[in-house]
Amino acid sequence: MSVTNFNVSRETLKRLKKFENFALLCNKTQNLYSKRDVAVFWERHILDSLKINDLLKGEEVVADVGSGGGLPGIPLAIVNREKRFILIERREKKALFLVEAKRVMGLNNIEVIKKNFEEITNIEAKVFVSRGVKLESRIIAHSRKLVKKGRYIYFKGQSFDLSKYTFLKDYKTEEKKEILIVYL
């Protein structure tokens, strides 16, 4: 079956649908996602999260900074069972959701860390991803402190303007449609 620009097995597609159903069920009581996104959850959240899948080739460990409702980390972990994903979330409610999603989905390749990203002093990941998190100099600087020669893959919003992020002048960057890659 085709999901975005790559093929996944029927079993993987079932797991992605299971996560969608679980996330939407939890959203009724936990308000994890915008109500206007519920009708387009598959396209706006699942498929969008998978857009960076090809950028993760060769990576063994990926850190999702500000994972919130598990995006993009959980869909990526479902598709890449051989990789480890570290989901970092500072808010208790959302961290508990991530732990429960890991359990319900049987995702042994996920580790949930309930901390502010800047409190982390050691991490195995060489690539960081974030979606729906404000791009700030302190986050990029902390990423660089944690790992040399890594990457920070950022999902850009519709009104993203790279020229407004002057702190990135010290970094090599690459823009790909809705994605910004910052080389640490």
Binding site feature residues for S-adenosyl-L-methionine: 66, 71, 131
DSSP H stretches of helix in the chain: 10-30, 41, 48-49, 73-79, 92-105, 137-146
Annotated binding site: 66, 71, 131
- Which among 52, 70, 74, 75 has a CA at the least distance from the CA of 127? 52
Residue 108, helix vs strand vs coil: coil
Distance CA 13, CA 18 (A): 9
Side-by-side strand order, sheet with 127-130: 110-113, 84-88, 61-65, 127-130, 151-155, 179-183, 172-176
Distance CA 73, CA 63 (A): 8
Distance CA 18, CA 37 (A): 17
